[in-house]
Chains A and B, each alone.
Chain A
Amino acid sequence: MTATEYGSSWLAEIAEIARGLGHSVYELAREQATPENMYEALESFKPNIVIAMSHGNARQFSGQNARIVFTACQNDEKMSGTQSFYLSCLMGQELAPSMVSKSATSVAAFVTEFVWMIDPEYSSREDYINDPKAFPFRRAIRESCRAVLRGGSWQSFYDTFVRMCNLGVSEWWNSEDAAAPQIVAALEQDRDSLVVYGNKTISPSPSVTISAALPLGIALTLISVSL
């Protein structure tokens, strides 16, 4: 079990939601999630929305085999004109605002580590989606993405994420499970870590999705949407 496989199962679910809402979806998965393929997809599909999941740090976002896809102030102009959400750690500190300074329309990211809990009893790929301890985190990501894929604003994305995290906190608050206090703390921390740079009230017009997921601890999922 790797965290990135776990997270990419969440993004596969989001890609299905996008298709269900009538958007065309393009996914980059596992070994396809290279910087070159990402750049090519941005050029060819000219997505309006990109949803990505991978390792990140304050200045960089990486893909397959830890190869760097974006670095602040080096190649982040490639996201110019797009709206994006990065399910990644720390990117909200420097890379996300740097993208907006290079004309990315809106960028949502986390300023601290994005943390979640898992139940090892749900350790097979088919079971990730049923993991009750991961569920409140998965739901918060899924529903906030659904809000923007429906044509909502990034304010609605943000508000939905906060509301879903708070719902998870209320559901786990009185639980006697040993992991419950940490689930509550992680939901609160993730909630307080999300930031949206750029025009938060823009209403996207979704339609093409790129998504990618990698094994071996490195994952990248990109969803891009355009009419």
Chain B
Amino acid sequence: MNVVSAIPISFVEARKLTLDFLNGWMNKLPAAQRNNPTIVFDMRTWSIPAMVGQVQMNSDVGQRYVAYYVGSLKNYVIR
């Protein structure tokens, strides 16, 4: 049996992964819809650009979103 363990990455790398994901998601949306609330996180509604801003600012919510997103990938762990 092969056992695959999660790859340790730094928070900076995790944040880049998260921003790449959010920007990719945003780019798939029609321009008119990009500022609409789309995701509920921390029991608050966020548009994708708003969450990008939180991640870029490295706010508490932004940091938790990075941890959440990278955790959802299952194959990385933040060092």
Q: A residues engaging B (CB < 8 A)?
A: 1-4, 6-7, 54-55, 88-89, 112-118, 120, 123, 178-179, 181-182, 185-186, 188-189, 217, 219
CB nearest to A62 among chain B residues? B43
The secondary-structure label for the interface of chain A is loop
- Not counting A6-B40, A181-B25, A189-B68, a sample of 20 additional A-B residue pairs whose C-beta atoms are within 8 angstroms of each other reads A3-B43, A54-B43, A112-B71, A113-B41, A113-B42, A115-B40, A117-B38, A117-B39, A117-B40, A118-B45, A120-B33, A120-B37, A123-B37, A178-B29, A179-B25, A182-B25, A186-B72, A188-B72, A189-B72, A217-B44
Number of A-B contacts (CB under 8 A): 62
Expressed in whole angstroms, the minimum distance between the Cβ of A133 and any Cβ of chain B is 8
* Contact B39 A115, beta carbon cutoff 8 Å: yes
Residues of A with C-beta under 8 A to B56: none
* Contact A118 B43, beta carbon cutoff 8 Å: no
Contact with A along B46-68 (1 / 0, CB 8 A): 00000000000000000010001
Interface size on B, residues (CB 8 A): 18
A217 to B45, CA, bound (A): 9
Residues of A with C-beta under 8 A to B68: 112-113, 115, 189
26 A/B residue pairs, CB under 8 Å, sorted by A? A1-B37, A1-B45, A2-B44, A3-B44, A6-B40, A6-B45, A54-B43, A55-B42, A112-B71, A113-B68, A114-B43, A115-B40, A116-B40, A117-B38, A118-B37, A118-B38, A120-B37, A123-B37, A178-B29, A179-B25, A181-B25, A189-B68, A189-B72, A217-B43, A217-B44, A219-B43
